[in-house]
């Protein structure tokens, strides 16, 4: 017989790892938005970073064919051969690299590989350091801490096009540094690392052979100015770089949960992690991803063109808002306007207060800079817009932001 639940009894304590685990605030704010919408509020949301387009038809059809073809069971933990081969060819050909199918491991999204990489190259509680970009995807710092490593931020500077100062990186590498996380194009700034940035980073890392690199390149197909560049193409870097990519952003497949990484030395380790955790990615989703990667790219090309048009629109409109300055992002689908003056004009002490008031008073949902790590010293206040939204939503949303600032000037 089960013991009855007794109100007021204390539950056993959590581990330090469980208590320290962070979250992704886009989903927290999305929950706030959904609650307001259920209450009858009209909200224009820019908070979630996912394409607002359907998955390409041929990928959907491949999933249906997989279901009807009885492809319902487990796959090898590293993924089906067809997807590993397709991903190796796609990632390799776009970067000018010779990647083998055996170098590639498929997971339930690209996100788990952040944790798998940190856990594979650092030891818990040993003082191993991981350098990561700030502002940056919040799961980087969350997983560094949860895995018992030491987080070391390297700051992205607006004056450098949201790249970091290589001298700052060089100064932060110590004998304890085990991993450098790079993200290009970047979430949340939309910045990209240029060829000269990556050349300098490679030169610095040549002096520190103990350092692995996790190259988060999930937005690699969404570069608007110039061409995509990867650190893995620099001399001596392929062997020590984990190239991370996936289906979510390029083919509007966020919910299908398919990501993949390439690194010859770590592929067997990642495979064991997957065996220990998720067993394998969904077989149905894997067949859909094969079709997405190998089939017609018209839908992906159209999405990219729409994002470019929206980028130009939202940057122009944001720069017309009093107290707002928005640099033009080079990739992804995020704008990262500086709202320092807008905060001052409206009596908001910081970007988080500004964000909350935009939501409650203007009906506009965005994220604040503090949702992406500590605020960069000397860089002012910023908020993030995901312009994975319709042209009409962008126009209406920025109109509301502008009206909010104008009517609340102190």
pLDDT band at residue 25 under the 50/70/90 scheme: confident
SS3 313: helix
Comparing 21-35, 63-77, 333-347, 369-383, the range with the smallest average pLDDT is 21-35
153: its two tokens: 């931020």
* Cα–Cα distance measured from residue 78 to residue 196, given in angstroms and rounded to the nearest whole number: 34
Q: Which residue has tokens 């191993």?
A: 128
Backbone angles phi, psi at 219, to 5 degrees: -100, 20
SS3 13: coil
Tell me, what's the pLDDT at 4? 54
Burial label, 192 (beta-carbon count in 10 A; 0-12, 13-18, 19+): buried
Beta strands 177-183 and 129-134, pairing class: parallel
* Cα–Cα distance measured from residue 56 to residue 52, given in angstroms and rounded to the nearest whole number: 12
pLDDT reading at 3 higher than 60: no
Q: What is the mean pLDDT of residues 335-339?
A: 98
Q: What is the mean pLDDT of residues 131-152?
A: 97
Q: What percentage of the chain reaches a pLDDT higher than 90?
A: 89
Tell me, what's the pLDDT at 28? 80
pLDDT band at residue 129 under the 50/70/90 scheme: very high
Question: Is 299 within 8 Å of 307 (Cβ atoms)?
Answer: no
* Cα–Cα distance measured from residue 386 to residue 264, given in angstroms and rounded to the nearest whole number: 34
Q: What is the pLDDT of residues 262-279, one digit of tens each?
A: 999 999 999 999 999 999
> Which segments of 148-290 are extended strands (E)?
150-155, 177-183, 212-216, 241-246, 259-262
Tell me, what's the pLDDT at 29? 84
Encode 216-227: b = buried (16+ Cβ within 10 Å), e = exposed: bbbbbbbbbeee
Question: Is 274 within 8 Å of 244 (Cβ atoms)?
Answer: no
pLDDT reading at 30 higher than 60: yes
Helix (H) or strand (E) holding 208: none
Comparing 15-24, 177-186, 215-224, 235-244, the range with the smallest average pLDDT is 15-24
Q: What is the pLDDT of residues 277-296, one digit of tens each?
A: 999 999 999 999 999 999 99
The rounded mean pLDDT for the chain is 95
Among 56, 52, 50, residue whose Cα is nearest residue 251? 56
* Cα–Cα distance measured from residue 194 to residue 132, given in angstroms and rounded to the nearest whole number: 18
Q: What is the pLDDT of residues 341-383, one digit of tens each?
A: 999 999 999 999 999 999 999 999 999 999 999 999 999 999 9
Question: Is 152 within 8 Å of 33 (Cβ atoms)?
Answer: no
Beta strands 241-246 and 367-368, pairing class: unpaired
The better pLDDT of the pair 37, 345 is held by 345
pTM (two decimals): 0.94
Q: What is the pLDDT of residues 83-101, one digit of tens each?
A: 999 999 999 999 999 999 9
136: its two tokens: 């940056």
Among 373, 332, 304, 322, residue whose Cα is nearest residue 155? 373
What sign for the dihedral angle of Cα 77, 79, 81, 85?
A: negative
pLDDT reading at 6 higher than 70: no
pLDDT reading at 8 higher than 80: no
SS3 263: coil
Among 400, 388, 108, residue whose Cα is nearest residue 273? 108
Q: What is the pLDDT of residues 235-265, one digit of tens each?
A: 999 999 999 999 999 999 999 999 999 999 9
Torsion of CA 15, 112, 133, 177, to 10 degrees: 70
pLDDT reading at 193 higher than 70: yes
Domains of the chain and CATH, by start: 16-54+299-407 (3.90.1150.10), 73-294 (3.40.640.10)
pLDDT reading at 405 higher than 90: yes
Among 354, 383, 358, residue whose Cα is nearest residue 371? 383
pLDDT reading at 226 higher than 90: no
* Cα–Cα distance measured from residue 128 to residue 180, given in angstroms and rounded to the nearest whole number: 12
Maximum C-alpha span of the chain? 68
Q: What is the mean pLDDT of residues 159-172?
A: 93
């Amino acid at each position: 017989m089960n013991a009855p639940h007794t109100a007021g009894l204390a539950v056993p304590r959590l581990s330090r790892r469980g208590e320290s685990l962070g979250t992704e605030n886009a989903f927290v704010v999305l929950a706030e938005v959904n609650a307001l919408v259920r209450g009858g509020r009209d909200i224009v949301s820019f908070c979630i970073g996912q394409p607002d387009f359907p998955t390409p038809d041929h990928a959907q059809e491949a999933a249906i064919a997989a279901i009807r073809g009885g492809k319902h069971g487990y796959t090898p933990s590293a993924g089906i051969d067809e997807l590993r081969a397709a991903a190796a060819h796609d990632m390799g050909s776009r970067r000018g690299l010779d990647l083998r199918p055996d170098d590639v491991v498929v997971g339930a999204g690209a996100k788990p590989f952040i944790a798998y990489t940190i856990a594979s190259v650092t030891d818990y509680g040993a003082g191993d350091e991981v350098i990561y970009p700030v502002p940056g995807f919040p799961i980087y710092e969350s997983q560094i801490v949860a895995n018992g490593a030491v987080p070391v931020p390297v700051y992205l500077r607006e004056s450098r096009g949201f790249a970091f100062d290589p001298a700052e990186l060089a100064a932060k590498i110590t004998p304890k540094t085990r991993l450098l996380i790079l993200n290009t194009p970047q979430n949340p700034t939309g910045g990209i690392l240029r060829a000269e940035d990556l050349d300098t980073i490679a030169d610095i890392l040549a002096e520190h052979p103990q350092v692995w690199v996790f190259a988060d390149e999930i937005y690699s197909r969404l570069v608007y100015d110039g061409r995509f560049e990867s650190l893995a193409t620099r001399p001596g870097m392929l062997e020590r770089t984990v190239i991370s990519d996936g289906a979510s952003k390029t083919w509007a497949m966020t919910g299908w949960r398919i990501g993949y990484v390439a690194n010859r030395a770590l592929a067997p380790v990642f495979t064991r992690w997957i065996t220990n955790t998720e067993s394998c990615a969904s077989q149905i989703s894997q067949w859909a991803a094969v079709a997405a990667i190998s089939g017609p790219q018209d839908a992906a090309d159209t999405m990219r063109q729409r994002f470019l048009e929206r980028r130009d629109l939202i940057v122009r409109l944001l720069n017309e808002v009093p107290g707002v300055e928005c640099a033009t992002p080079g990739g992804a689908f995020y704008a990262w306007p500086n709202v320092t003056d807008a905060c001052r004009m409206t009596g908001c002490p910081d970007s988080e207060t500004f964000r909350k008031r935009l939501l409650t008073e203007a009906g506009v949902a965005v994220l604040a800079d503090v949702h992406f790590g500590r605020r960069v010293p000397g860089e002012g206040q910023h908020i993030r817009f995901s312009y994975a939204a319709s042209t009409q939503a962008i126009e209406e949303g920025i109109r509301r932001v502008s009206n909010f600032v104008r009517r609340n000037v102190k």
